[in-house]
Structure 1
Amino acid sequence: MTDLPEHISIWAELADTDHQLQHLDIAGVRTRVLRAGSGPDLVLLHGTGGHLEAYARDIAGLAEDFTVTAYDMVGHGWSDLPDTPYTVDVLAAHLLGLLDALGIDAAHLSGESLGGWVTAWTAAHHPDRVHRLVLNTPGNIANKPEVMERLKASTRAAVRDPSDETVRRRVEFLFHHTEMVTDELVNLRRAVYSRPGFVRAIENTLVLQDPAVRRDFAWDPGWVGKITAPTLLLWTDHDPTGGLDEAELLLGWLPDARLVVIEDAGHWPQWEKPQRYLEIHRRFLRDRRDPS
């Protein structure tokens, strides 16, 4: 028998895991939500232009210890695309509405890239709703203009022309090992980017890369220092959006934080190094041991 590849397909990752995919009304926004597992609540948030499949390789493993909720943020994936700027406070309000709809008083939150920004903002302004916090490659903590421009350019190009070439280039930006980018993953994102109204929706997301808008939400010790939840900074050694110098900034601002670096990975360690990602989450969220 021929050896099977480690990753066959997105949904094959959930083939042996009971799960539910549903759409919930969150303050009028039809929101796509996937839930699996049992135990303490853990909510996963994707990044800019993303969708819940960003965690396809992790949900089954996490569901062994947690009630896992992954969802498409407002203006993303197959959730609704209302024509309003998706600033961090708007995305955080959507997250809180999801928790309310699911009857979750407080949860562990793990956010990647933009999702990390949203979870951090939520933890700072609504500390009673967050148990423990994981900031996974949150990106551009130093608010560097060149990083903002690169993200805007690559994302706009892919959404305005959702061809295989442009979308593949956008997805490969997330990976250190670009050979791991599958046709399935590219075509899934092409389908998202081809949704009616998505060109406008991505502009409403990219307002956060405008320095004038970003100023009100930019990473800053003034609000970051209000986060009381124990926090894990999950970095990589090949993240194109921010280096370890930015992790050190957060370590200085957060009252209770520790740093773990996943080696040989880019902006999506949850996909490139799923076993390491799972091990770190279990140690930090379940066993509360040193996650390194």
Structure 2
Amino acid sequence: MPDDAPTGEYLELTGGRVHLFRGGSGEPVLFLHAAGGAGAWLEFHGQLAGAGFDVIAPDHPGFAMSDDFPLVEAMDDLVYHYLDVLDALGLERVHVVGASFGGWIAAELAVAASHRLRSLTLLSAAGLRLPEHPVPDIFLMPPPRLLETLFHDPPPVPAAEPGATPDIDTVLAAYRDTTALARICWTPYLNNPKLERRLHRISAPTLVVAPSDDRLIPVAHAQRYAALIPGARFAEVADCGHAMYFERPAEFAGVVASFLHTAQSALSGANQ
């Protein structure tokens, strides 16, 4: 089995179990997934692991194979949840990469506990409120409209077999993920009005990445993050939509891995 092949495992925390995939070897990278993509080891993860990193990809509370953790009711609860995850893994400091909803969690984690981060990477992160650049309501979108919103080039929807009925397990899993997402970000919708004025507290080296054709989280949100986080770098990947690590996994993994290697080299030099 190659070193970057993932293993699935569970962490026992107070309140329930966290499911995660882990693959690769090297500096630890905590990957916080978007509203979609839980419960899977994706090409993006494999590319990042293959670039020389120990990639840890947990399912958020209530998503995929993690337990519900009913006391995780708001974003600040998620921040402490992930500090508990780091403690349970025995990791004092990690690189944190977060995408969309997971990017919002990553930003809040960096605000609260920047000393636990070797670096921070935000991939089209939610979390900010920019009235002039609103985020459309994904809870109200029918599936075809959602695909158009998430992808620069939406994948074809496979035709249903005549007389076929929906897979009840798939339907229930999607409903559970959506319910877990709504529990955290229904009101206010996908943002924390206080986050913007706290971003100056982030001291970890930071990269903010946006897909050029993001129809869900406008690129202006990433630009605002980069402007307000001290020393943050900004990068944009062309011809890509919000479902970035599904649509352009190699490009996003390459940008992230390059930044992580640079950040790690800087940290190693500072410690010599």
Give the TM-score range, shorter chain.
0.7 to 0.9
| Counterpart mapping for 1:10-89 below 5 A | 17-48=4-35, 50-53=37-40, 56-64=42-50, 65-84=52-71, 86-89=73-76
User: In structure 1, how many angstroms separate the alpha carbons of the residues matched to 2:230 and 2:43?
Assistant: 31
Q: Contact 1:86 / 1:204 at 8 angstroms: preserved in 2?
A: no
Give the superposition deviation at 1:219: 5.6
Per-residue CA deviations over 1:78-120 (Å, capped at 9, x if unaligned) read 2112445642112122211111111111100000011011111
Large movers: runs of 4+ above 6 Å: 180-183
Query: Residue type matched to 1:26 in 2?
Result: L
Q: Quick check: 1:105 aligned with 2:92?
A: yes
TM-score by structure 2 length?
0.81
Give the superposition deviation at 1:35: 0.5
Unaligned runs of 5+ residues in structure 2 are 160-166, 265-272
Q: Quick check: 1:95 aligned with 2:82?
A: yes
Q: Quick check: 1:178 aligned with 2:164?
A: no
Match of 1:186 in 2: none
Match of 2:269 in 1: none
Per-residue CA deviations over 1:5-33 (Å, capped at 9, x if unaligned) read xxxxxxxxx99943210122222221111
Give the superposition deviation at 1:182: 7.5
Q: Quick check: 1:223 aligned with 2:198?
A: yes
TM-score by structure 1 length?
0.76
Q: Contact 2:61 / 2:72 at 8 angstroms: preserved in 1?
A: no
Match of 1:256 in 2: 231
User: In structure 2, how many angstroms separate the alpha carbons of the residues matched to 1:234 and 1:135?
Assistant: 6
User: In structure 1, how many angstroms separate the alpha carbons of the residues matched to 2:198 and 2:70?
Assistant: 28
Match of 1:272 in 2: 247
Unaligned runs of 5+ residues in structure 1 are 1-13, 158-165, 184-188
Q: What is the SS of the residue equivalent to 2:22?
A: strand
Match of 1:122 in 2: 109
Query: Residue type matched to 2:119 in 1?
Result: R
